[in-house]
């Protein structure tokens, strides 16, 4: 996956069981962030940070979508616990994670395993990836994404 490529289209259920189709957001900027597991510390921080700044994303006419391999039920518990107002999508079979290239070999305490590498993508109104953030550090990441979106708006889509 590279910048300027078309983003892989997908339809996934959100935390309420409603199907979300990426193609429905053509004409808008879309932030798609992938996180390893709902209700873990890093994923909670990242999701709450996006939730906290959601009004800023809305002002930029930008949709925020979170994706993990958690079930719809777990996404619902996560969204309810932290009052998340944007869609948290369930990719239980991992096909969307694979399509975006975030399902990768990871290493923790010397053990190798497959998992989601925390990553974010800004998808432009034309459906192309305009910015990729591989191996995200959660603390200020949402602000980086917000600033890049503001720059995209000011420059007509160029970073």
Which position among 7, 22, 32, 43 bears the catalytic label? 43
Give yes or no: 97 in active site.
Answer: no
Please list the alpha-helical segments (H only) found in 4-135: 41-52, 54-59, 72-81, 95-100
The DSSP bridge partners found for residue 84 are none
Q: Pairing relation of β-strands 103-108 and 111-116?
A: antiparallel
Coil, strand or helix at 50: helix
- Which are the catalytic amino acids? 43
């Amino acid at each position: 996956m590279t910048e300027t490529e078309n983003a892989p289209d997908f339809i996934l259920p959100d935390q309420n069981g409603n199907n979300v189709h990426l193609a429905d957001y053509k004409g808008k900027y879309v932030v798609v962030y992938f996180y390893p597991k709902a209700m873990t510390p890093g994923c909670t921080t990242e999701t709450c940070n996006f939730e906290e700044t959601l009004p800023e994303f809305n002002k930029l006419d930008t949709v925020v979508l979170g994706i993990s391999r958690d079930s719809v039920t777990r996404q619902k518990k996560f969204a309810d616990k932290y009052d998340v107002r944007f869609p948290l999508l369930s990719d239980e079979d991992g096909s969307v994670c694979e399509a975006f290239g975030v399902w990768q070999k990871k290493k923790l305490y010397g053990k190798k395993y497959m998992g989601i590498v925390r990553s974010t993508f800004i998808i432009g109104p034309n459906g192309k990836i305009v910015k990729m953030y591989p191996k995200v550090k959660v603390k200020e990441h949402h602000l980086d994404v917000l600033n890049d979106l503001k720059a995209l708006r000011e420059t007509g889509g160029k970073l």
